[in-house]
Amino acid sequence: MSLFSRPTPEARGLGMTSQRARDRLIDRLKSNGIADRRVLDVMRRLPRHLFIEEALASRAYEDTALPIGQAQTISQPWVVARMTEALIEHKLPAKVLEVGTGSGYQAAVLAALVANVYTVERIEELLRNARRRFRKLGIENVRSRHDDGKLGWPEHAPFDAIMLTAAGEAIDPILFDQLALDGILVAPVGVPGAQRLLSYRYDGKGWVSQSLGDVSFVPLLGGLG
């Protein structure tokens, strides 16, 4: 598991020039209710500017979503922090499935906290760029796959936690089938303009959701791009 202590020289130099901006971002996250020190410490160290196009690097530490191409975005830092915080609130999962690799930023945050991250991305170009970033940062505990994320990754189930980084109108039962009964699933759910961030846990009879607030995500699509 990498804690971003030994990235490549290129990544290390870029990150150092942005440390003050990262610190200001962490202060904003704290003021907006993010309290888990583990999450804040990881996001303070992780160079978010490496996960976006160079033309947008000056905006990397704003608390906002940014385009990454292919009609996709890198999520707002507050949303990344809140989803991660919810995922590890009760325990640190050993094995996490992420549906929607995107830029790779959320997977990188998770990789600093849990032993094994499995991430699935339907758009090959995005996945190729994310893999390059993982290598640059020395992240070795992320396994990635070009596939339809709505199908999960059944060969490695059950997972202790599952996170969706795009929004569907409901959670496909196939994902709950891949989740351990004592696990947690965190996902945005709903139609555009009316999405809520939900966490699901098993209560002995079924999967029960808890709302974590209103959000806005790109739609969860099936197939390959």
Buried b / exposed e over 19-34, threshold 16 CB at 10 Å, is eeebeebbeebeeeeb
Determine if the peptide bond prior to 173 is cis (ω within 30°).
Answer: no
Tell me how many degrees the CA angle 94-96-100 measures, rounded to the nearest 5: 165
Strand partners, 196: 189, 214
The DSSP symbol for 155 reads: G
Residue for token pair 């130099």: 13
Q: How far is it, in rounded angstroms, from Cα 35 to Cα 167?
A: 25
172 closest CA partner among 189, 160, 197, 159: 189
Q: Which of helix, strand or coil describes residue 9?
A: helix
User: What residues form DSSP beta bridges with 118?
Assistant: 97, 143
Active-site annotation, residues:
75
